[in-house]
Amino acid sequence: MPHAFAHIAFTPAVRAEQFQMGSSARLGAFDQMSDRNHRLGELESAFITACDSFYEATVSESGWPYVQFRGGPTGFLKVLDAQTLGYARFRGNMQYVSTGNLRGNDRVSLILMNYASRQRLKIMGRARLVEIDEDPALIGRLELPDYRARVDRGLIINVEAFDWNCPQHITPRFSETEIQPLRDELARLQGEVAQLRTGAAG
DSSP for 123-147, written as a single string: EEEEEEEE-TTT-HHHHHHH--TTS
Residue 92 is predicted with a pLDDT of 78
Residue 60 in any domain: the answer is yes
Q: Does one domain contain both 1 and 65?
A: no
Q: Does one domain contain both 17 and 88?
A: no
- Provide the number of structural domains found in the chain: 2
Residue 187 in any domain: the answer is no
Residue 37 is predicted with a pLDDT of 82
- pTM of the full structure: 0.87
Residue 183 in any domain: the answer is no
Give just the sign of the alpha carbon dihedral 69, 73, 79, 80. negative
pLDDT tens per residue across span 61-109: 999 999 999 999 999 999 999 999 999 998 877 899 999 999 999 999 9
Residue 100 in any domain: the answer is yes
Q: Does one domain contain both 106 and 73?
A: yes
Residue 197 in any domain: the answer is no
Range of the domain at 46: 37-170
Q: What is the CATH number of the domain that holds 49?
A: 2.30.110.10
Residue 193 in any domain: the answer is no
Q: Does one domain contain both 43 and 24?
A: no
